[in-house]
Amino acid sequence: MTLMEFQRDFGTEEQCREYLFKKRWPDGFKCPKCGHAKYFNIKSRSLYQCKACNHQTSVTSGTIMDKTRTPLSKWFMAMFLLSGDKRGASALAISKSIGVAYFTAWSMCQKIRHAMGTRDATHKMDGIVEMDETFFGSADEGGKRGRGAEKTAAMVSVSLTADGKPRFARMKVVGAVNGASALSFAESTVAKGSEIRTDGLNVYPVLGRNGYNLVQKKYSPEKQSKHLHWTHIVISNAKAFIEGTFHGLDGIHLQRYLDEFCYRFNRRWLTGGVFSQLVLACALSGKITYHELIG
């Protein structure tokens, strides 16, 4: 979708509200309180009132846009910008593009990333899955990169097609790389019974004892260039994305950027379809409080 087409289809509040309504209630309105289908449309306040229980709801209530004071057309433009380019868009760029304060744009971006992560968390990978650990962090004072106390650890999994091409990717910030975090990551991202391929690190054997077909091999770039091949490429792309655009990330903020990276990666073959999927993700995400937002 071009910017011109976007502005034609989503330039007004009414267009955005109608579109969001269809995403949220594809089979027609359903009262969030009692499930009734008939409603009064209170147009002056953009509310829908249930004819059975009188509960009033809006198209944004209970989503990441709950009680927003920012027009929907600006939210839609932010979603369009975040879904359009594989490098994403910074909060600063978005604040300038849609004409809101930096903090408003930052908070919108974080909420949209939260919706992306929530959406991907509903899917579990299966078949053959590569898994690895990595460390994110900016260069230390000496300019060298490597494992260090200030680095943030993350687990990474990439599922493969039968002919060895990457399908889906997930990444999770963990406090430490150990058996417990590896198992928890596997259980939240990979279906039991799948084959999980890892390096020789001693944190992985627990997967083999918990319903996964574990294939562990010491990683050596010279001898086994295919082992964990795609995972290493995905990690390196994620680092380029994060270090090229954003700096000084840790903890919950890093997690949201990883969610954004994986969200787009997982939909990279959809030509022109990511925006509409992202609106759906935001409509179904559930709301997030300011406290949760800042971690």
Residues that bind Zn ion (CB under 5 A): 31, 33-34, 36, 50, 52-53, 55
Number of residues that make up the chain: 295
Shortest Cβ 33–Zn ion spacing (Å) = 5
Q: Which is nearer to Zn ion, 3 or 34 (CB)?
A: 34
Shortest Cβ 37–Zn ion spacing (Å) = 9
* Burial category of 28 from C-beta neighbours within 10 Å (exposed 0-12, middle 13-18, buried 19 and up): exposed
* Distance from C-alpha of 197 to C-alpha of 207, rounded to nearest angstrom: 10
SS3 call for 277: helix
* Distance from C-alpha of 177 to C-alpha of 198, rounded to nearest angstrom: 13
Shortest Cβ 48–Zn ion spacing (Å) = 10
Shortest Cβ 40–Zn ion spacing (Å) = 11
Shortest Cβ 15–Zn ion spacing (Å) = 27
Q: Which is nearer to Zn ion, 35 or 175 (CB)?
A: 35
Edge-to-edge strand ranges of the sheet holding 39-42: 39-42, 47-50, 56-57
Shortest Cβ 230–Zn ion spacing (Å) = 48
Q: Which is nearer to Zn ion, 33 or 96 (CB)?
A: 33
Shortest Cβ 60–Zn ion spacing (Å) = 18
* Distance from C-alpha of 149 to C-alpha of 137, rounded to nearest angstrom: 10
| 50: phi then psi, degrees, rounded to nearest 5 | -65, 130
- Dmax over CA atoms of the chain, in Å, equals 69
Q: Which is nearer to Zn ion, 45 or 223 (CB)?
A: 45
Q: Which is nearer to Zn ion, 34 or 121 (CB)?
A: 34
Q: Which is nearer to Zn ion, 10 or 39 (CB)?
A: 39
Answer positive or negative: Cα dihedral of 280, 285, 289, 295: negative
Answer positive or negative: Cα dihedral of 180, 259, 169, 136: negative
Q: What share of the chain is helix, strand, coil (3-state, %, to 5)?
A: 45, 15, 40
Q: Which is nearer to Zn ion, 53 or 121 (CB)?
A: 53
